[in-house]
Amino acid sequence: MIGYTSLGTAGLARSERFYDALLAEFGAKQIMHMDDFIVWASENSGPAFSIHIPENGKTYSVGNGVMIALAAADQAQVDLVHARALELGGTDEGKPGFRAEGFYAAYFRDPDGNKLNIHCMTG
């Protein structure tokens, strides 16, 4: 089971604005805020999501092939979160739709170029 996922960022303040608004769509809020990272969760004991300035001091870069998948309650939330990500400065990587029978999903990149998926299972 996933405890938390982490993505890197080149701009903590920019990522904070993006993810504060985007993750609010899931009822998540910041549960930890440090100088070099921020953590969001819906519940203190549930799965969490975080962004970090690279710990090793090297320049941030996007992980090729890395993607975080966010679970939506239904198709409407997939549509809403995808649209919200684009409004917040993210870029489209795949509009909402069925990818396989019973799998409804959309893809986007955050302002740093990290790839995310929002999906739900139907039927």
pLDDT for residue 1 is more than 70: no
Residue 106 has a CB neighbour count (10 Å cut-off) of 26
d(CA 10, CA 33): 16
Per-residue tokens: 121? 């299972």
Give the whole-number percent of the chain exceeding pLDDT 90: 80
108 by DSSP, 3-state: which? strand
Please give the CATH architecture assigned to the domain spanning 4-53+67-121.
Answer: Roll (3.10)
Lowest mean pLDDT among 12-16, 41-45, 115-119: 41-45
Question: What's the order of all strands across the beta sheet hosting 115-121?
Answer: 67-71, 115-121, 103-109, 91-100
pLDDT for residue 53 is more than 80: yes
Q: Domain coordinates of the chain in residue numbers?
A: 4-53+67-121
Task: State the average pLDDT over residues 78-88.
Answer: 98
